[in-house]
Every structure is written in structure tokens, then in C-alpha cells.
Amino acid sequence: MRTTIQVDERVLKEAMELTRAKTKREVIQLSLKELVRNRRLKRLRERLGHTELEIDLAALEEIRGQD
């Protein structure tokens, strides 16, 4: 689908540099996908709530060793 939009050129240029996208189309598609992903993760975190996990490196290594 073709759409005409006005985009801040400085933001677009920075996004292309950060993502190493070769085209404007590529960086916009990547940006939209990342936005959707982040919003879905945020919604999931809100639904699941928050849990404090108190574990140190030694305990983590012990758990991993049990597999």
C-alpha cells in the first residue's frame, strides 16, 4: 500500500543510522514492527503483573546445572 506521510528528516536519518536500514521504507517498516512488539510486551507485562525475583548468580548457576 502506498501512503504519503511527512516525516522529520533528522529522526528518519538517525533511525536509518541506528538500524543500518538501507531504505526509508525498510526503516519505517522496522519501526512499525518494533512499535507493535513493544506495545504488545507492555500489555502482557501489565496483565501478568510484577514479581520481585531475588536470586543470585550462584543460585542461578545451580538451577541451570539441574537441567
Residue 20 is predicted with a pLDDT of 97
Residue 66 is predicted with a pLDDT of 73
Whether residue 42 is contained in a domain is answered as yes
Whether residue 3 is contained in a domain is answered as no
Whether residue 4 is contained in a domain is answered as no
How many C-beta atoms surround the C-beta of residue 26 within 10 A? 13
Q: Domain tally for the chain?
A: 1
- Supply the range of the domain harboring residue 46: 9-65
Whether residue 30 is contained in a domain is answered as yes
Whether residue 1 is contained in a domain is answered as no
Residue 48 is predicted with a pLDDT of 84
What does the pLDDT profile of the chain (67 residues) look like in tens digits?
899 999 999 999 999 999 999 999 999 999 999 999 999 999 988 888 877 778 888 888 888 887 5
Residue 45 is predicted with a pLDDT of 84
CA distance 51 to 67: 23
Whether residue 2 is contained in a domain is answered as no
Instruction: Give the length of the chain.
Output: 67
Residue 67 is predicted with a pLDDT of 58
